[in-house]
Amino acid sequence: MAASRFTSDSGLTRRMLFTMLLVALVYVAAALPAFRLGPGWGLAAVAALVAAAVALCRSMDRFVLWVTGARVVDAAEEPELHAIVEMLCMTCDLPKPRVAVLDLDVPNAFAAGSGPGTAVLCVTEGLRRRLEPAELAAVLAHEAAHVVNRDVLITAVAAFPAMCAGTLLSWWAAPRGAAGLLARVVLAPVAAAAFVLYCLGTVTGMALSRHRELCADATGSLCTGRPGDLAAALARIGAAAGDATPADRRALRPVSALCVVPARLLSTHPAMDRRQARLTMLSQRLAAGT
Amino acid sequence: MRGPLGPLLGRSAPPEPVLDRLFALADVAGPLAAATGFTPGGTGAVAHRSVEGGPFGAFARTHREVLRLLRSGAAPEVETCEDEHGWAWIRIGRPPGTLGELPGDLHMVNALLQEGGFGPYLLCSVVCFERGPARLGLVHLYRRGTFYPYAPLPGGRRDAGLEREAAAALAGEIPVEPDTGRWFPVRDAPGL
């Protein structure tokens, strides 16, 4: 059965479970200091964490569209994109996500929204100009796979403690003058804890994101049956992303963990040759029918 | 992997599809004609992804076998076409007026591709009905095992009123897709 063709990668699963355990430890580390003040404070901290995470997840699609300036387009405006997305929805049994276009020259695409019901798939103008039709379908299938696997939600949950710690650090560093200095000295232990949390959270979040990318490559190829198209598209995007302007890269920075190829370093994404090698392996298995 | 663990581990597999409902199509011609005046146009088609692997790959072999079996039977007209995004159709032509063996043909194509391990690459099957120049497609979603009507109008629009009418007429005969958000247009279906 072809459905099991791509799902036998136990090494990847083990690494991912390990990373998720680390993410859970980051959450525990975030709530633990509050429990030392007393159980009431600890429960309050847990409740605040959960409430903030839920609020973040519910408003994430709107936030991402707003922060990148992507424009949601309807079927009359972009018939080709909508036709591709509809075909993918039939294959993956997804409700139809919204489709958005971002007026940037750097070729990239991302998915937003916390689940299949609220998903948005976004492509940049540069991506549409550079890719062949079949390659565009492969990239959209990769993004649809992120929606199927709920990657946006999972990476957001993983990145959330680090984000909070980062905000806390910036508040700690902000006050000026003698009173500010005093506050900084008094709060130094809190800041140190936040710094550790920030480092841990960022590293584990990125590791998880790399695993999810490989999974989305596999799920997306399962959806299209053409890993070769995705490999070709990745090569083309990788070549073009190298000469993107700094302004374009800045515009995509807030969503770089969700992009098909990250605009900055290859930190949230696995190395390109590793992805290519895995896609080639999928191609060979498809051709052999095993 | 299915259930909540699938998405968590990043490897959701689609659910097992229900194919036998395609045979229920044999009963819809009467009610549909009574309610809307549309009669079978004699054309059916199966949409699938054209899986890579080259002309001698596993998918191409299965695909050739499907076409050979289709042509060896009571010899319907069989055609294939592919679009630039990588989706393809197998079109089957039978004499118009009745549905006849068309549901069986469509079931065979779906079942053979599924058996060959290419179920994940099947999208839908379409049967065409006509009333003068107007066309109505009855679409079977492979993954969900449900049907919905698709009535194209010139200029890429759809006749929503006719689609509702047809869905109401068919509701007792076949499982109609309840989520109208999934009544996806099949613009390039042969015969529409």
Q: Are A242 and A192 in contact (CB under 8 A)?
A: no
Low-confidence ranges of chain B (pLDDT < 50): 1-3
Beta-carbon separation of B58 and A288 below 8 A: yes
* Residue of A107, A146, A142 lying closest to A123 (CA atoms): A107
In a domain, A1, yes or no: no
Kindly state the tokens that stand for B109. Answer: 């194509």
Cβ–Cβ below 8 Å for B13 and A226: no
Mutate to test the interface with A, among B2, B8, B9 (most CBs of A within 10 A): B9
Strand A109-112 relative to strand A120-124, pairing? antiparallel
Name the DSSP class of A175.
-
Give the torsion through C-alpha atoms of B117, B16, B48, B38, to 10 deg.
140
Q: Does A83 touch chain B (CB under 8 A)?
A: yes
Residues of A in contact with B6 (CB under 8 A): 149
A107 occurs within a structural domain: yes
Q: Whole-angstrom Cα distance, residue B180 to residue B147? A: 11
A277 within a domain of the structure (yes/no): yes
- Quote the minimal CA–CA distance from B158 to chain A in Å: 12
**How is residue B60 written in tokens?**
């191409």
How many CA atoms, within 13 angstroms, populate the side-chain half-sphere of residue B52? 22
A:228-257 residues touching chain B, CB 8 A cutoff: 228-229
As a whole number of angstroms, the longest Cα–Cα distance in chain A is: 72
- List of E strands, chain A: 71-73, 98-102, 109-112, 120-124
d(CA A158, CA A148): 18
Q: Which residues of B touch A131 (CB under 8 A)?
A: none
Q: Does A84 touch chain B (CB under 8 A)?
A: yes
- A225 with B15: Cβ contact below 8 A: no
What does the alpha-carbon distance between residue A128 and residue A108 come to, in Å, rounded to a whole number?
Answer: 9
**Residue B86 CB burial class (10 angstroms; 0-12, 13-18, ≥19):** buried
Q: Per the CB < 8 Å rule, is B142 touching A223?
A: no
HEC secondary structure over A84-125: HHHHHHHHHCCCCCEEEEECCCCCCEEEECCCHHHCEEEEEH
Does the annotation count A143 as an active-site position?
yes
Query: A-chain residues within 8 Å CB-CB of B52?
Result: 225-229, 283, 286-287
Structural domain includes residue A214: yes
**Enclosing domain of residue A233:** 10-288
Q: What are the residue boundaries of the structural domains of chain B, listed by start?
A: 17-182
Q: If you ran DSSP here, which 8-state letter would residue B9 be given?
A: T
Which residues in chain A are closer than 8 Å to B12, comparing Cβ atoms?
Answer: 148-149, 219
Q: Is A128 exposed, middle or buried (0-12, 13-18, 19+ CB in 10 A)?
A: middle
Residue A2 domain-assigned? Answer: no
Residue count of chain A = 290
Cβ of B54 and A226 within 8 Å? no
**Nearest-CA neighbor of A71 among A110, A102, A112?**
A102
B153 touches chain A (CB under 8 A): no
Q: What is this model's ipTM? A: 0.87
The pLDDT assigned to B103 comes to 92
In chain B, residues with a C-beta closer than 8 Å to the C-beta of A223 are 120
Considering CB atoms only, which of B10, B141, B179 is closest to A95? B179
Angle at which helix A188-224 crosses helix A151-173, to 10 degrees, equals 160
Supply the pLDDT for residue A254: 59
Helix orientation angle between A188-224 and A10-37, rounded to the nearest 10 degrees: 150
| B88: CB partners within 8 A, 6+ apart | B47, B48, B49, B50, B80, B81, B82
Q: Is A286 on the interface with B (CB under 8 A)?
A: yes
Please report the pLDDT score of residue A266 as a whole number: 41
Nearest to A3 among B13, B51, B184 (CB): B13
Question: What is the C-alpha to C-alpha distance for residues A197 and A206, in angstroms, rounded to an integer?
Answer: 14
Does a structural domain hold residue A114?
yes
Q: Which amino acid belongs to residue B187? A: R
Sheet holding B122-131, edge to edge: B77-82, B87-93, B39-49, B122-131, B134-141, B146-150
- Establish if A4 belongs to a structural domain: no
| Per-residue pLDDT of chain A in tens (290 residues, 90 and over written 9) | 333 444 445 666 777 777 778 777 777 777 777 787 888 888 888 888 788 777 877 777 787 788 788 899 998 899 999 999 999 999 888 899 999 999 988 888 888 887 788 889 999 999 999 999 999 999 999 999 888 888 877 777 777 777 778 878 888 887 778 888 888 888 888 888 888 888 888 887 787 888 888 888 888 887 888 999 999 998 888 777 666 666 666 666 656 666 666 544 445 677 778 888 888 888 888 888 76
**pLDDT of B60:** 92
Overall number of domains in chain A: 1
Q: Is residue A5 part of a domain?
A: no
Three-state DSSP class for B139? strand
The answer to whether A227 contacts B52, with C-beta atoms less than 8 Å apart, is: yes
Residue B144 sits at the chain A interface (C-beta within 8 Å): yes
